[in-house]
């Protein structure tokens, strides 16, 4: 079954990792600016349960925009993130400023 999602440039598979990938400083500052992370560095994603967040931390994607492996949490909060369907992320692929 193929799903056609408009405005997406990349279809990136989500893979499991044994140890969570740390967020970089840029991602942390963006998360704090939009209120999804407190001053102590604890994530508070709206609509995501603690159990689901724990699962998301153990997932990664090979990001086509940054051209490196990123943790799924960083991908999820990226402006290029469109949706995740059946273990694949639909990415807009636009350059980030």
pLDDT of residue 41: 82
pLDDT of residue 56: 92
DSSP 8-class letter at 38: -
Residue 71, both tokens: 């943790």
pLDDT tens column, 20-73: 999 888 888 888 888 888 888 888 888 888 899 899 999 999 999 999 999 999
End-to-end CA distance of the chain: 35
4 has a pLDDT exceeding 70: no
In which band, very low, low, confident or very high, does the pLDDT at 3 lie, cut at 50, 70 and 90?
Answer: low
CA 83 to chain centre: 10
Whether 44 and 37 have beta carbons less than 8 Å apart is answered as: yes
pLDDT of residue 31: 85
DSSP 8-class letter at 80: T
């Amino acid at each position: 079954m193929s799903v056609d999602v408009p405005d997406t440039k990349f279809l990136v598979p989500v893979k499991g990792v044994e140890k969570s990938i740390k967020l970089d400083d840029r991602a942390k500052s963006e998360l704090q600016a939009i209120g999804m992370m407190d001053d102590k560095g604890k994530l508070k994603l709206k609509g995501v349960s603690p159990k689901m967040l724990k699962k998301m931390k153990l997932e990664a994607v090979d990001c086509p925009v940054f051209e490196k492996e990123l943790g799924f949490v960083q991908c999820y909060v990226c402006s290029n993130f469109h949706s995740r369907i059946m273990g694949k992320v639909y990415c807009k692929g636009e350059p980030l400023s």
